[in-house]
Amino acid sequence: MATDIHSTAVIDPSAELGADVRIGPFVVVGAEVKIGDGTYLESHCVIKEFTEMGANNHIHPHAVIGGEPQHAAYKGEKTYTRIGDDNIIRECATIHRGTAQGDGETRIGSNCMLMAYVHIAHDCILGDNVIMANAAMLSGHVEIGNHVIVSGMSAIQQFIRIGEYAFCGGASGYKHDVPPYMLAHGVRGKLFGPNLIGLRRNGFDSATCKSLKKAYKIIFRSGLTKEKGLAQVEQEITGIPQVDNLVEFIRASKIGVAPDHKQHDGHSDS
C-alpha cells in the first residue's frame, strides 16, 4: 500500500496505488488510474483518468498526464495513457491519451526523461531511454524509437517517425521521418549524417559507425534515386544490422525521410 499521501491530495476511490508510492500536496489522481510501486508524484501534478504507469516514476510539479486529446473528433471515448518504469517527467509537461481514431492509447516506454514543458499529443509512441529537452513538442501519432534525443524547442508534426539513436537538434521543425542513427537539425529538420558522437557514447564500434557513414553517403549524396541507393547499400554493405535497419526504415517511410542538408526539400525521396 502507498505509505505517504499528503492530506490535501485528491485520490479517486477507483485508483490503484502500488507499494511505497509518495503523493505530495494538492495532487489529483483520477478514476481508474494505476500507479506502480515506488512512484513519486510531487505537488500539484494531475494524473487524469485511464492512466497507467509502472514502477519508480518521478512526476514533478504541475505536470498533467493523461489529459483529453486535443482532437476535434474526440467525444469522450475511454482511451488510455500507458507509461513504463523509471521515467522522469518534469515540471508542466503534458501528455494526452489516445483517440478512438488512432490506436486508443499513448505509450511511453521506460527510462525516459521528459523535461519541463514537453508536450506529447494523442496516440504518440515513445520507446525506451528517450530524452526530450525543454519545450519539445510532438503532434499526434508520432513514433519515437529507443535512445532518441529530441532537443529543446523542437516541433515534430503528425505521423512522423524518428528512428532509434537519432538526434534531433533544437529549435527545429520536423515534417519528414528521421532515419535511425542520424543527426537532424534546422528549420525544416534536414539530415547532417550519422549521429556519430551519440553512437560512440552508446557503445557502437568503429566498423558500425563507418558502415553507417558509407551507407549515408550512398543513399543521400551519390545522386542515385532512393531505390538505387538502397539497393547499392544492400549489395556493398552486408552483415551490419544497423545498416539493414536504416534501409528498412527508409523503405517503410510513408511520407518520405528528411533530406540531406545540401539537398532541397523536394528531393527528400531521391
Catalytic machinery residues: 122-123, 140
Cα(19)–Cα(14) distance, rounded to whole angstroms? 16
Cα(158)–Cα(231) distance, rounded to whole angstroms? 29
Distance spanning both ends of the chain, measured CA to CA: 58
Cα(259)–Cα(150) distance, rounded to whole angstroms? 18
Cα(44)–Cα(83) distance, rounded to whole angstroms? 19
Q: Within 10 A of 179 (CB to CB), how many other CB atoms are there?
A: 29
Half-sphere exposure of 174 (CA within 13 A, CB side): 37
Listed in sequence order, the residues at least 6 apart from 202 whose beta carbon sits closer than 8 Å to its beta carbon are 147, 165
Count the helix, strand and coil residues of the chain and give each as a percent rounded to the nearest 5: 20, 25, 55
Going by C-alpha positions, the residue among 125, 57, 134, 129 that lies closest to residue 93 is 134
Half-sphere exposure of 217 (CA within 13 A, CB side): 7
Cα(213)–Cα(124) distance, rounded to whole angstroms? 30
Going by C-alpha positions, the residue among 115, 109, 104, 121 that lies closest to residue 158 is 121
Cα(159)–Cα(29) distance, rounded to whole angstroms? 30
